A and B are shown apart, each in its own frame.
Chain A
Amino acid sequence: MPVDYLPILVMIAIVTAFAVIALTLSAMTGPRRPNPTKLSPYESGMPPFGSARRRFSIKYYLTAVLFILFDIEIIFFYPWAVLFRDLGWFGLSAMGTFMLVLLIGYVYVWRKGGFEWD
């Protein structure tokens, strides 16, 4: 029921307030003595070079795509799991078919080295 979610809204409001207060507090208290060296990016004491906004490994992207695939699978699994007792063997075979298709993709990614980080 929608009213069940009301306390969550209240909590979101309070938590947001907490975060805002903490962030403003930290801005107000404490000294303010900035200097160029202090404000430059930390690179282990060496003078910083280049930007941090550079290309990074495509593997991160691949991982994100795989995550989306399997995360959607979880969303399929949850209602199925809750109703599993009612669905019985039909439910198992239907989910088994779905999983089989997904597993073929999984095996493919595995064999193609999609999980290797070298």
Chain B
Amino acid sequence: MTLDPIVITLIEAVVKTIVVIVALLTAFAYLTLVERYVIAKIQSRIGPNRVGAIGGIALLQPIADAIKMIFKEDFWPSQADKIIYTIAPGIAVGTALLAWAVMPLHPSTEIFGYRVDFFIADVNIGVLYLLAIGSLGVYGIVLGGWGSNNKYSMLGALRSTAQMISYEVSLGLALVGVLMISGSLSLVTIVEKQSFIWNVVWQPLGFIIYFIAAVAEVNRLPFDLPEAETELVAGYQTEYSSLKFALFYMAEYINMITVSAIAATMFLGGYQGPFGILPGVHWLVLKIMFFIFVMMWMRGTLPRFRYDQLMRFGWQVLLPLALANIFITALVMLVVGA
């Protein structure tokens, strides 16, 4: 029996999507635990150690949290714009998940005579797709803040939007250097071209700019102004409860994983090991874990920026650096290439 290739593609896509989503949700759940534990250790506290504890770590804590979230009261504030208020968390989490459609996870392999690709889609505008989906994420936040009709939410959403679009510029420009080296927008091609030397060797400045902008993009310390709890309660999430709150939370953590994965893919060779050693998904996971650990470490260590410092840093430091990086790369490539 032979199936239409379109049908095979569809079935493959469904299976892969479900696997990726389940993996991401699990990763999200355990990241919350890891984060609490890491921050506790940095601050010389014990951290969660009750629910299903093994060796002093509460391994079942995320499941308990999830159950609690599901059974909390879900309410609509009387002044809220009901529709916008409801769909905003959905947009946030949806865009966060969609970024993974183009992420290459593992080299393509033959399994039982089938060639299996470990990515959901390999489109020739992969990087552009990532940026496009990334900027859609802003909508979840700004609609959530607007729909809540709460002053804190509104301010948090505005700040968040201004911050995210400001750093998005540097983020996008930091990737241009990689594109010049790879000559492709397809993430699969970009990873394949790094089988021997990672792009970070040629693009150290671009890498640093990307990472800083990415941290700002996911609203993590020291750029967590949108949720500066001393000023804005919980920013755009203030009026949210129950699973709607959980969806925002989920979106934040998945975005953390996503930007780490993009950093790993664009600069650190994705699933490629150093000097071509044993390429595989374990390398990607390791690299992502490294980035996420750095972000947690920064949260435990750094104080928060003031808002004017944040905007000035983005527009007057990162942006010129990113542009300079592009032109340095161009000059070096032309001079060395000639």
A and B touch in the complex (CB under 8 A): yes
Q: Give the B-binding residues of A (Cβ under 8 A).
A: 3-8, 10-12, 14-16, 18-20, 22-23, 25-27, 29-34, 36, 38-44, 51-53, 56, 59-60, 63-64, 66-67, 70-71, 74, 77-78, 81-85, 88-89, 92, 95-96, 99, 103, 106, 110, 115-118
CA distance A31 to B70 in the complex (A): 10
**B308 contacts A26, C-beta separation under 8 Å:** no
- The answer to whether A12 and B98 touch across the interface, beta carbons within 8 angstroms, is yes
Stretch among B12-20, B30-38, B49-57 lining the A interface:
B12-20
- A residues near B76, Cβ cutoff 8 Å: 39
Taking CB atoms, residues of chain B closer than 8 Å to A27 are 74
Chain A contact residues: helix, strand, loop or mixed = helix
Q: A78-B127, A78-B185, A82-B185 are known contacts. Are A31 and B233 too (CB-CB below 8 A)?
A: no
Chain A positions within 8 Å of B75 at CB level: 32, 34, 38-39
Given contacts A4-B123, A56-B158, A82-B179, 8 further A-B contacts (CB under 8 A): A7-B9, A19-B89, A25-B243, A56-B155, A71-B168, A74-B176, A81-B177, A89-B334
How many angstroms between the C-alpha atoms of A30 and B180 in the bound complex?
A: 53
Complex CA distance for A78 and B131, rounded to whole angstroms: 11
Q: Size band of the B side of the interface?
A: 35 or more
Q: Is the CB of A18 within 8 A of B327?
A: no
Contact A15 B71 (CB under 8 A): no
B94 at the interface (CB under 8 A from A): yes
Q: Does B120 count as interface, using CB distance less than 8 angstroms? A: yes
Tell me which of A6, A23, A59, A71 has the highest count of chain B C-beta atoms within 10 A of its own C-beta: A23
A89 to B145, CA, bound (A): 47
Q: A23-B244, A30-B74, A77-B176 are in contact. Are A10 and B10 (CB under 8 A)?
A: yes
In the bound complex, residues from chain B placing their C-beta under 8 Å from that of A4 are 121-124
Partner of B179, one of A51, A67, A78: A78
- The contact sample of 12 A-B pairs, CB cut-off 8 A, is A3-B9, A4-B122, A27-B74, A29-B71, A29-B74, A32-B74, A33-B73, A39-B77, A44-B233, A82-B185, A84-B333, A92-B331
4 tightest Cβ-Cβ pairs between the two chains A and B: A26-B243, A19-B90, A7-B13, A117-B308
Nearest chain-B residue to A91 (Cβ)? B330
User: Nearest-CB distance from B25 to chain A (Å)?
Assistant: 9
Which one, B149, B162, B247, contacts A22 given CB within 8 A?
B247
* Given A31-B73, A67-B166: A11 in contact with B17 (beta carbons within 8 A): yes
A5–B148 Cα gap in the complex (Å)?
A: 35
Given the interface pairs A6-B13, A14-B18, the reply to whether A23 lies near B243 with Cβ below 8 Å is: yes
Q: Which residues in B have their C-beta under 8 angstroms from that of A67?
A: 165-166, 168-169
Q: Is B238 an interface residue (CB 8 A)?
A: yes
* Also in contact, A41 and B149, with CB within 8 A (given A25-B70, A117-B311): yes
CA distance A46 to B94 in the complex (A): 35
What's the least CB distance linking B162 to chain A, in Å? 5
Partner of A23, one of B86, B158, B333: B86
Q: With A7-B120, A89-B334 in contact, is A16–B94 under 8 Å at CB?
A: yes
Residues of B within 8 A of A77 (CB): 172-173, 176, 326
- The listed residue (A52, A88, A118) touching B308 by CB distance below 8 A is A118
Bound: A22/B319 CA distance, A: 38
- Contact assessment for A26 and B180 in the assembled complex, using a CB-CB cutoff below 8 Å: no
With A11-B17, A92-B330: A78-B128 Cβ-Cβ less than 8 Å: yes
Contacts of B176 in A (CB 8 A): 74, 77-78, 81
Please tell me which one of the listed residues A23, A70, A95, A116 contacts residue B89 in the complex, with CB atoms under 8 A apart. A23
